[in-house]
Amino acid sequence: MARTRAAYEYTEAEDKSMRLGFLLIAAGLLSLLGLGCCWLRPALQERGGGGSANCTVLAVRQLGERFACTFSCGAACRGTARYPCLQVLVRTSRSSAPALLHEDERQLRTNPKCSYIPPCARDDQENSENVTYKQKYWKEKVGSQPFTCYFNQHLRPDDVMLKRTHDETVLLHCFLWPVVTFLVGVLIVVLTICAKSLAVKAEAIKKKKH
């Protein structure tokens, strides 16, 4: 029994290999848990009940209300500027009721009243010019041409998005890499145990022959 126990003791290299395998297994499980709670679950909730549709512009307008944004002019230099609110109202192929268009989910959460938030410049006039340029784009270049938009009837029935922040590719990578890390860890542990077992059996057969 003592000889068998000694034979199954792992060498320093095998011990390091086992530790690496268990470390990868733990990292994969913790990554899945963390991403699931902090990122994947909210992303799936945003996508739940949603879909794509064809949108057509109904009206493009600037409101009299202005909103604050924060600009950065260096490591320790920050300030507040203002920009006008642009609203793009569209009609979707799923509903005849007008809906407010947004760039994506982040922009919708940041300012649900407006359709566009310009890159925050120090000069209010520059912010106004950026918004006016976007207004001309929707009026003149897009006009009545249909385009693809995205909606979520459960969370935001009166809003649509021009693009999704959480698309299928991001969700796939969010799930794929923790699983790959976990499987690599399992593979290292299994291979190390199998290699040790084969080595012990080979040593026992060699002793019997002698």
* Top-confidence residue, 1 or 170: 170
Domain ranges of the chain: 52-165, 167-204
- Joined together, the tokens standing for residue 193 give 């145990």
DSSP labels, 166-183: S-HHHHHHHHHHHHHHHH
pLDDT at 124 over 80: yes
Q: Could you give the 3-state DSSP secondary structure of residue 125?
A: helix
Report residue 2's pLDDT band, with 50, 70 and 90 as the boundaries: very low
Provide mean pLDDT across the span 79-102.
90
Q: What pLDDT, on a 0 to 100 scale, did the predictor assign at position 144? A: 82
Residue 6: other Cβ atoms inside 10 A? 8
Q: How far apart are CA 15 and CA 178, in angstroms?
A: 23
Reduced to 3 states (helix: H, G, I; strand: E, B; else coil), residue 53 is strand
Q: Which amino acid is at 198?
A: L
pLDDT recorded at residue 201: 82
SS3 label, residue 130: helix
> Is 143 exposed, middle or buried, given 0-12, 13-18 or 19+ CB atoms closer than 10 A?
exposed
Which pLDDT score is estimated for 118? 92
Is the confidence at residue 197, as pLDDT, over 90?
no
Query: Ranked by mean pLDDT, which of 58-62, 94-98, 102-106, 152-156 comes out on top?
Result: 58-62
End-to-end CA distance of the chain: 20
Evaluate if residue 195 carries a pLDDT over 50: yes
pTM: 0.58
Contact present, 150 and 167 (Cβ < 8 Å): no
String of DSSP letters for 182-198:
HHHHHHHHHHHHHHHHH
Distances (CA, A) of 34 to 156, 167, 175: 26, 19, 11
Sequence-ordered strand ranges (E) for the chain: 50-74, 77-92, 95-102, 147-152, 156-161
Residue range 31-44: mean pLDDT, rounded: 64
pLDDT tens per residue across span 153-183: 666 778 888 887 655 556 666 777 888 888 9
